[in-house]
C-alpha cells in the first residue's frame, strides 16, 4: 500500500500555521463586519472594508472604534483593537449595557451623522452580496 503524503500530523501542523497567519491578514481582508455573534441574521452583513474605510475616513486612532472598559464604563483611552465588540456587548439586552446591534448602529451611524459622511440608511450598509 502506498503511503499517503499527508499524515494527520502534517495536516495539523498546516492547520496551526494557517490559524497563526489568519489574524494578521483578517483586518486587511475584511469586507464586512463579522456577524458570528448573531445567531440568525435578518439583514445581509454590513459592508465594512476595514483598512480602506479607515484610510478614506482619516481614522488613524484605533480607539475611535476599539475602546475598552473601566469600572463597568466605557474607557475611551484603552485600545482594544482585535477584540470583538461582542466580547463586551452581548446580543441580548442587559440593564445598563448597550446590546451588540445597538452598539454597532450607534458607533457607525453616530459618526456618519456627526461627520455628515458615510451611509445612514439600512440598505446602504446592509447590501445584498454582489452576484
Where is the binding site for heme c, in residues?
A: 50, 53, 62, 65-67, 108, 111-112, 122, 125-126
Nearest to 74 by CA among 60, 90, 89, 94: 89
Q: Are 89 and 97 in contact (CB under 8 A)?
A: yes
Q: What residue numbers does the annotated binding site cover?
A: 50, 53, 62, 65-67, 108, 111-112, 122, 125-126
Q: Residue 100, exposed/middle/buried by CB under 10 A (0-12, 13-18, 19+)? A: buried
Q: Under 8 Å CB-to-CB from 109, ≥6 apart: which residues? A: 120
Among 41, 92, 129, 130, binds ligand HEC (CB under 6 A): 41
Cell numbers at 104, concatenated: 454597532
Which C-beta is closer to ligand HEC: that of 7 or that of 115?
A: 115
Q: Which of residues 61-120 bind ligand HEC (CB under 6 A)?
A: 62, 64-69, 72-74, 80-89, 97-98, 101, 103-109, 111-112, 115, 117-120
Does residue 27 interact with ligand HEC by CB under 6 A?
yes
The secondary structure of the chain in percent helix, strand, coil, rounded to multiples of 5, reads 40, 10, 50
Q: Which residues bind ligand HEC (CB under 6 A)?
A: 26-27, 30, 33-35, 38, 41-43, 45-50, 52-54, 56-57, 59, 62, 64-69, 72-74, 80-89, 97-98, 101, 103-109, 111-112, 115, 117-122, 124-126
Amino acid at each position: 500500500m502506498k503511503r499517503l503524503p499527508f499524515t494527520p500530523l502534517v495536516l495539523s501542523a498546516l492547520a496551526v500555521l494557517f490559524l497563526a497567519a489568519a489574524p494578521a491578514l483578517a483586518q486587511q481582508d475584511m469586507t464586512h463586519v463579522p456577524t458570528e455573534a448573531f445567531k440568525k441574521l435578518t439583514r445581509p452583513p454590513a459592508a465594512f472594508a476595514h483598512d480602506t474605510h479607515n484610510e478614506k475616513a482619516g481614522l488613524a486612532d484605533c480607539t475611535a472604534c476599539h475602546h475598552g472598559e473601566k469600572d463597568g464604563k466605557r474607557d475611551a483611552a484603552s485600545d482594544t483593537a482585535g477584540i470583538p465588540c461582542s466580547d463586551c456587548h452581548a446580543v441580548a439586552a442587559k440593564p445598563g449595557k448597550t446590546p451588540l446591534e445597538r452598539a454597532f448602529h450607534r458607533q457607525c451611524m453616530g459618526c456618519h451623522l456627526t461627520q455628515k459622511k458615510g451611509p445612514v440608511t439600512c440598505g446602504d450598509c446592509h447590501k445584498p452580496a454582489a452576484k
